Amino acid sequence: MKSAILTGVVFLALISAFAWTAWGGRLPWAAPPAHGEDWCEAHQVELSRCEKCNPKLARGGTMVTKIREPKTGECPNTLVRVTLGAGVAEQIGLARHVIEARPVAETVRANAETAFVPSSWARVAPRLPGIVREVPVSLGQTVEAGAILAIVEAPELAGAKSACLQAASARDLRQELYNKVNGLFEKHLATGRDELQARTDVEEARLVLEAAVLRLRALGLTEEQVAALQKDRDSSSRLPVTAPFAGTVVAASAVLGESASIDRPLFEIASLDRMWVEIDATEADLTRLEPGQRTVFFMEAFPGKKFTGKVMAIGGSVDDVTRTVKVYAEVKSPDGLLRAHMFGRVEITVKTAEPKLLVPREAVQSDGDCALVFVEASAGSFQARKIETGGIYEAGFEVKGGLAAGEVVVTTGSFLLKTEVMKGEMGAG
């Protein structure tokens, strides 16, 4: 009987010992410790961060601890703390960044292609058909306004010159006749009708000569050349093809001895000190774009070089395939470095610089529902936090909520921390 009682007492003692251990050294109905379950009384720190008592951290591992259960609408992964063991941060190359406000401008970036400025680019063709006899310029040559690009032998020009010379001779003869008639009229030896007829003939001859001169001017002859024609009485068929303005010969197809026509340009002249940039802007960006905004064009072919300018015009139609709108900007091209049909990127400043709270792009991770960053709560301990982002800039994302200036976030290594949060733990090192 006594042995049975003793056995029962021992059995109850064992059950009590197991229960005491299972309940963390307290009675089941007792209140939990003031610091919660995750607390190391020996070292007065969270057990998940205690490198002496937590075996995983003691061996250089990582602990992922859930702070509490999420409330309705909360992102579950933001209620998690990741604690790194000794040396783990250095092993994974973890880097930190202090959140601060920086002055940034609001910009629009898009693909772009260079083109000649329409007002400084011309296709030059002869004013009359003929045969190319001289080509004194070559591709890439810089020319002044009025410079002769080619000489075309045009039979029609000879006819126009002859008509001008005949009109000049007729005007001179009629002027001489009028002078005689007018002299007789003043001496009452000619009637008023005779004087009027002679004056009318002079006016008609003057108008014919004026039309002949305008015809030559339309064919490309200057006033000096027309004057020299009347003086030297040269009725040759040599038609000069001249540059309409100063620029560079960017295309040349004139070949000696070949026929030239008015609908086939022999040269292209363009100014290379400035260029147009044709920008492919999205429909969503149209409301923010307007003429006069500052632009910067840059290319991978010219690293470190930027070509500045401003928006000149916005196209009136949307491309059926790309759903983009052409925006035209004019940029400076120092030393004529830019050429037509070069590809690059354009940055358009749509709002001047103002202070904004920024977080580096590499610091922001997504768990599928929330944008997360890992804030350093204490040395070696990082808590996932949901943030709201605004505009995207070269220096990072604008922070609309969730972070304050002065807080420290993880940049390099943030993806690894997110991985541990998503799977629960990394395991002991």
The answer to whether residues 227 and 281 belong to one domain is: no
Asked if the structure places residue 68 within a domain, the reply is: no
pLDDT tens across 379-393, in order?
878 888 888 888 777
The answer to whether residues 259 and 347 belong to one domain is: no
Percent helix, strand, coil in the chain (nearest 5)? 30, 35, 35
The answer to whether residues 248 and 303 belong to one domain is: no
Q: Is 387 helix (H, G, I), strand (E, B) or coil?
A: coil
pLDDT at 110: 94
CATH number, domain of 406, equals: 2.40.420.20
Q: How far apart are the C-alpha atoms of 376 and 38, rounded to whole Å?
A: 19
Asked if the structure places residue 47 within a domain, the reply is: yes
Asked if the structure places residue 57 within a domain, the reply is: no
Average pLDDT over residues 326-335: 93
Please give the mean pLDDT across all residues of the chain. 83
Average pLDDT over residues 214-239: 83
The answer to whether residues 275 and 264 belong to one domain is: no
The answer to whether residues 302 and 289 belong to one domain is: yes
Asked if the structure places residue 67 within a domain, the reply is: no
Non-local (6+) Cβ contacts of 356 within 8 A are: 101, 102, 103, 104, 390, 391, 393, 398, 399
pLDDT at 210: 93
| Residue 325 belongs to domain spanning | 107-117+271-353
DSSP state of 128: S
Q: Is residue 340 very low, low, confident or very high in pLDDT (cuts 50, 70, 90)?
A: very high
Asked if the structure places residue 323 within a domain, the reply is: yes
pLDDT at 395: 79
The answer to whether residues 129 and 193 belong to one domain is: yes
The answer to whether residues 387 and 293 belong to one domain is: no
pLDDT at 143: 96
pLDDT at 9: 58
Residue among 98, 109, 111 at smallest CA distance from 392:
109
Write down which residue in 213, 239, 269 finishes a domain. Answer: 269
Total of domains in the chain: 4
Q: How far apart are the C-alpha atoms of 109 and 300, rounded to whole Å?
A: 15
CATH number, domain of 231, equals: 2.40.50.100
Asked if the structure places residue 71 within a domain, the reply is: no
Higher pLDDT, residue 279 or 301: 279
Write down which residue in 250, 269, 288 finishes a domain. Answer: 269
Asked if the structure places residue 102 within a domain, the reply is: no
With beta carbons less than 8 A apart as the criterion, state whether 347 and 296 touch: yes
With beta carbons less than 8 A apart as the criterion, state whether 102 and 358 touch: yes
Higher pLDDT, residue 171 or 75: 171
pLDDT at 44: 58
The answer to whether residues 202 and 264 belong to one domain is: yes
The answer to whether residues 294 and 348 belong to one domain is: yes
pLDDT at 41: 52
Query: Is residue 52 scored above 70 in pLDDT?
Result: no
Average pLDDT over residues 83-98: 82
Asked if the structure places residue 100 within a domain, the reply is: no
**DSSP notation for 303-370:** TT--EEEEEEEEEEEE-TTT-EEEEEEEEE-GGG---TT-EEEEEEEEEEEEEEEEE-GGG-EE-SS-
The answer to whether residues 284 and 175 belong to one domain is: no
The answer to whether residues 132 and 252 belong to one domain is: yes
pLDDT tens across 243-289, in order?
999 999 999 999 999 999 999 999 999 999 999 999 999 998 988 99
Average pLDDT over residues 202-230: 87
Q: Is residue 81 very low, low, confident or very high in pLDDT (cuts 50, 70, 90)?
A: confident
Highest-pLDDT range among 46-50, 345-349, 352-356, 410-414: 345-349
pLDDT at 194: 87
With beta carbons less than 8 A apart as the criterion, state whether 293 and 349 touch: yes
The answer to whether residues 323 and 375 belong to one domain is: no
Q: Is 383 left (phi over 0), alpha (psi -120 to 50) or beta?
A: beta
pLDDT at 292: 94
Query: Is residue 180 scored above 60 in pLDDT?
Result: yes
Q: Is residue 31 very low, low, confident or very high in pLDDT (cuts 50, 70, 90)?
A: low
